Structure 1
Amino acid sequence: MQELILLTKYYDPLLVIASIIVACAGSYASLEMNQRLARNNEFKWSILLIASCTMGLSIWAMHFIGMASFSIPIEITYHWGLTFLSIVPAIFSAFIAFFTLYRFKPKPLLLLIAGLVMGGGITSMHYIGMSAIQFPGILSYRDMPLLLSIVIAVAVSFVALYLFRVLQKINTGWVTVPVAIVMGLAISGMHYTGMVASEFCLPIANQDLLGSSPVRSREFLGTISGVIVGAAIIVLIVYLQSERRFFNGYCTEMD
Structure 2
Amino acid sequence: MQYLDYTHNPWLVFASLLVALMAGFTGLSLTKGLSERSVVHKKILVALAALSLGGGIWSMHFVAMLGLQLPILFYYDPTITLASALVAILVVGLALLILHFWKRTRSTLILSGVIVGLGVLAMHYIGMAGLEYCQALYTPLGLALAVTSSCVLNVAAFMIAYGKRTDRNIIAGTLVFGSAVVSVHFIAVSGTSFTAVVSVVEAGPLISNEIMAIGVVLTSFVLCGAFLLTGITFLSPSDTDVSPDGELPPEVSDVPDIAPAVIRVPYEQEGRTQFVNTDEIAVIHAEGHYTSLYTATGKLFCHWSITEAEKRLSPGPFLKTHRSYLINPAFVSSFERLKDNGVCHFNVTKLERVPVSRSRLSIVRSTLGV
What is the TM-score when the length of structure 1 is the normalising length? Answer: 0.83
Q: Which amino acid aligns with 1:62?
A: M
**2:218 aligned to which of 228, 231, 245:** 228
Q: Which amino acid aligns with 2:49?
A: A
1:212 paired residue number: none
Is this contact kept in 2: 1:101–1:161, CA < 8 A? Answer: no
1:42 aligned to 2:70? no
1:105 paired residue number: 103
Is this contact kept in 2: 1:111–1:161, CA < 8 A? Answer: yes
2:315 paired residue number: none
1:142 paired residue number: 139
1:188 paired residue number: 182
In 2: Cα distance, 1:222 partner to 1:66 partner: 12
1:156 offset after TM fit, Å?
2.5
2:238 paired residue number: 248
1:165-180 paired onto structure 2 within 5 Å: 165-168=162-165, 170=166, 172=167, 176-180=170-174
Q: Which amino acid aligns with 2:224?
A: I
1:73 offset after TM fit, Å?
0.8
- CA 1:103–1:122 in 2, change beyond 3 Å: closer, same or farther? same
- CA 1:238–1:8 in 2, change beyond 3 Å: closer, same or farther? same
1:81 offset after TM fit, Å?
0.6
Size of the alignment, in residue pairs?
Answer: 235
1:201 paired residue number: 195
Q: Give secondary structure in 2 for the equivalent of 1:37.
A: coil
In 2: Cα distance, 1:114 partner to 1:245 partner: 27
Q: Which runs of 4+ in 1 moved over 6 A?
A: 249-253
1:182 offset after TM fit, Å?
2.5
In 1: Cα distance, 2:188 partner to 2:214 partner: 22
- CA 1:109–1:5 in 2, change beyond 3 Å: closer, same or farther? same
Q: Give secondary structure in 2 for the equivalent of 1:86.
A: helix
1:51 paired residue number: 49
Map Cα deviations across residues 26-81 of structure 1 (whole Å, 9 max, x no partner): 1111121121434x343311000001110000000000000000021111111011
In 2: Cα distance, 1:107 partner to 1:179 partner: 17
In 2: Cα distance, 1:105 partner to 1:232 partner: 32
Judge which range, 53-62 or 242-251, deviates more: 242-251
- CA 1:41–1:77 in 2, change beyond 3 Å: closer, same or farther? closer
Structure number having the greater strand percentage: 2
Larger radius of gyration: 2
Is this contact kept in 1: 2:7–2:69, CA < 8 A? Answer: yes
Map Cα deviations across residues 132-151 of structure 1 (whole Å, 9 max, x no partner): 0011x543112212211111
Is this contact kept in 2: 1:146–1:193, CA < 8 A? Answer: no
In 2: Cα distance, 1:246 partner to 1:139 partner: 46
1:238 aligned to 2:232? no
- CA 1:179–1:138 in 2, change beyond 3 Å: closer, same or farther? closer
Map Cα deviations across residues 88-132 of structure 1 (whole Å, 9 max, x no partner): 111111111111111111233333332232222111100000000
In 1: Cα distance, 2:25 partner to 2:38 partner: 23
**1:127 aligned to which of 125, 128, 133:** 125
- CA 1:222–1:24 in 2, change beyond 3 Å: closer, same or farther? farther
In 2: Cα distance, 1:245 partner to 1:185 partner: 23
In 2: Cα distance, 1:240 partner to 1:138 partner: 39
- What RMSD over aligned residues (CA atoms) do the two structures have, in Å? 2.4
Judge which range, 95-104 or 228-237, deviates more: 228-237
2:155 paired residue number: 158
Q: Give secondary structure in 1 for the equivalent of 2:137.
A: strand
In 2: Cα distance, 1:86 partner to 1:108 partner: 29
Q: Which has the higher contact order (CA 8 A, sep 6+)?
A: 1
Gaps of 5+ in 2: 199-206, 242-306, 312-370
